[in-house]
Amino acid sequence: MKAICFYFQIHQPFRLKRYRFFDIGNDHYYYDDFANDDIITRIAQRSYIPAAETLLKMIEESKGKFRCAISITGVALEQCEQYVPEFVDLLKKLADTGKVEFLAETYAHSLSSLADPIEFEEQVKAHDEKIYQLFGVKPKVLRNTELIYCDELAPQILSMGYKGVITEGAKHILGWKSPNYIYSAASAPKLRLLLKNDKLSDDIAFRFSNTEWNEYPLTADKYIDWIASTPPEEQIVNLFMNLETLGELQPRESGIFQFMEALPRFAAERGVEFITPTEAVTKLKPAGELSIMHPISWADEARDTSAWLGNQLQNEAFNKLYSVAERVRLCDDRRLKQDWLYLQGSDHLFYMSTKHMADGEMHSHFSPYETPYQAFTNYMNVLADFIVRVEEQYPLSIENEELNSLLTTIRNQAREIETLNKEVTTLRLNAEHDCEEHATRAALEAEKKPAKKTTKKTAKAKKAE
């Protein structure tokens, strides 16, 4: 039976306020609270909340046959908890159905996987903890920021305990192959790859309300027919998109919610089922190995990382940010660590893109800045102040070798403390065990002594008689 795997992404960055050069060293609060509140509240009302209600309705009306996956960043969850807690409650209801899988990803929607493996792992772990805290589930499949993936990442992802990873079904990677199969990672064969079906995903995400599209209007029965008519040996159709597709990119007036609600009924008629990513990587056998030597993503026509690291501005900001990674990890300042997370959001680099034509229009649509250069200047001013604060704790004059030596010493001390704690625990358990044995012996001896005296008295009494 052919299966559909739906995945919806939710992310909103902490947007920066206008931060001038003269603010450096004087103002350590970087965020535009009004914009962050306004944007996520507006999108939640237009998209997130009605979309979640629609998914819940689809699960209930199909009696659990419809299922999907959601990936929401830690920074988006923080904003939802603060500004639209009713949406978090809806996500909890979806989690309680057991038909919605929550995926792992970087907490801050960062590019740490391309710069710092330690930071990448720590962020994914922090995100998992947030998901478990709110929804009581532990993610088993990873969705890296913007679906970024390459062979180099696979062994680490597998070692972190994930069964699979989802990424883009890029044409220049697949060649003649179809994205409608499960694949094994070439550099870690036990890790499964789920690839986005680019055309069928974008038919909903970008073309649904386009009246100039030759397939307009797109109806649920027509769409399911397209999926059902794919070659019978193809196992799965992965439909990956932002949740804003429902209600924001495709407005309510377009009929997008009615389209979604009708999908389970027509799928059942055509023998098409719905499946979650974990079910897919567990039940379906891989069609073969797939090698992806250079990082790919789901952005722009190139499907690479040039949306964030395609020019000198972006690379300058990216390298400057991660140059202080080790120092930030050493500190215990919670505010500094929070700013470190928020400044890693890939959105800040996205706003600096100087791409032209169609891709450039898409970039400028999401940017709060008038130009990429304004985005760069504002971010670098904030970053300059942030680095001053880092330097106050761990001066940049400390050479890398000296810093590495310090880190080694700290880690060795941590291991030594851990070993000593284990020894103390063992000694304590042994001491408690010895005390218990001593108490048991004492109790047995106490029981025996009175018994012997009683026996002697009884014998003497009998002799006297």
Q: Which residues are catalytic?
A: 146
Instruction: Report the residue count for the chain.
Output: 465
Cα torsion for 129, 132, 137, 139, to the nearest 10°?
-20
What one-letter code names the amino acid at 84?
V
Q: Is 317 helix (H, G, I), strand (E, B) or coil?
A: helix
What one-letter code names the amino acid at 232?
P
Residue pair 88/10 in contact by the 8 Å Cβ criterion: no
Label residue 178 exposed, middle or buried (CB < 10 Å: 0-12, 13-18, 19+): middle
Which residue intervals of 177-234 are DSSP H helices?
198-205, 220-228
Q: Which of 146, 158, 177 is nearest to 295 (CA)?
A: 146
- For the chain, give the longest Cα–Cα distance: 122
**Share in percent of the chain as helix, strand, coil (round to 5):** 60, 15, 30
CA distance 347 to 363: 10
The two three-digit tokens of residue 120, written as one number: 């990448």
CA distance 323 to 327: 9
Label residue 432 exposed, middle or buried (CB < 10 Å: 0-12, 13-18, 19+): exposed
Rounded to 5 degrees, what are φ and ψ at 294? -115, 145
